Amino acid sequence: MTETHAPHVPETLYKSLTDSVRRLVDFTIRSQCDATIIESVRAKVDAAADELGRALIPGAFGVQQKINGSSLAWGNAVIGLRNALAPPLDIHHDDDGTVWAETTLGAAYEGPGGQVHGGVCALLLDHVLGATAHKPGRPAVTGTLTIRYEKGTALGPIRITAHIDRVEGVKTFAVGHIATPEGMTVRAEGVFIHPRRPTS
């Protein structure tokens, strides 16, 4: 009964499928084809989804703990390897505590014409600021997040950077920003909370 349990599928194959779906999402927004083609493509997409849906996890992907203590979040809206909504961000942790990610945002992330949706900026900043506070086995949750929009963020390449400003008890105060090749566009401050450990 291989269809009721997740069989071994190479990670690269999931990545490849998700990249293909991401391209389809982009073309769905940008296609200028006529109604005959749109209808033909819709039928093909339905057939592909029917095949893929023959065996499904009952709910969302969840966060699976791996043996080495790290976690597998392939469904995550920002970093998920199998989530075509995610850019996805590849989060880097430098030795000095800086956390950063680079990506290129296309048509699917648009708000004002030609610009990244302000809420998408908030989405990405929440994740990267939060990553400064997360430790293996010690998840942190967002307490508050404040976003200051200094100018519009053009669609295209961006870099998101964050670092810890200070730690007070269970609270980690992180700051960060988004920059395009033309400079910094959005700043953020976040307070992330490590739930107190159970009494040991």
User: Segment 136-155, which members bind a copy of itself (CB under 8 A)?
Assistant: 139, 141-149, 152, 155
Structure tokens at 82: 């199998």
Q: Point out which span in 44-52, 95-103, 157-165, 175-183 binds a copy of itself (CB under 8 A).
A: 44-52
Q: Point out which span in 33-41, 91-99, 160-168, 175-183 binds a copy of itself (CB under 8 A).
A: 33-41
Write the binding mask 158 to 187 for a copy of itself: x where contact by CB under 8 A, - elsewhere.
------------------------------
How many residues can be counted in the chain?
200
Contact between 151 and 159 under an 8 Å Cβ cutoff? The reply is no
Residue 176 makes CB contacts below 8 A (sequence gap 6+) with 99, 125, 128, 129, 132, 160, 161, 162, 163, 187, 188, 190
- Please name which of 92, 60, 91 lies closest in space to residue 76, comparing C-alpha atoms: 60
- Taking the complex as a whole, the smallest distance from the CB of residue 33 to a copy of itself amounts, in Å, to 5
- Please name which of 110, 45, 120, 133 lies closest in space to residue 86, comparing C-alpha atoms: 120
Residue of 82, 159, 171, 194 that binds a copy of itself (CB under 8 A): 82
Contact between 133 and 142 under an 8 Å Cβ cutoff? The reply is no
Element (H, E) at 24: helix 11-30
- Taking the complex as a whole, the smallest distance from the CB of residue 94 to a copy of itself amounts, in Å, to 22
Q: Point out which span in 24-32, 94-102, 161-169, 171-179 binds a copy of itself (CB under 8 A).
A: 24-32
Q: What are phi and psi of 158, to 5 degrees?
A: -135, 160
Residue of 11, 33, 70, 93 that binds a copy of itself (CB under 8 A): 33
- Nearer CB in complex with a copy of itself: 46/94: 46
Residue of 11, 70, 77, 182 that binds a copy of itself (CB under 8 A): 77
- Taking the complex as a whole, the smallest distance from the CB of residue 48 to a copy of itself amounts, in Å, to 4
Element (H, E) at 96: none
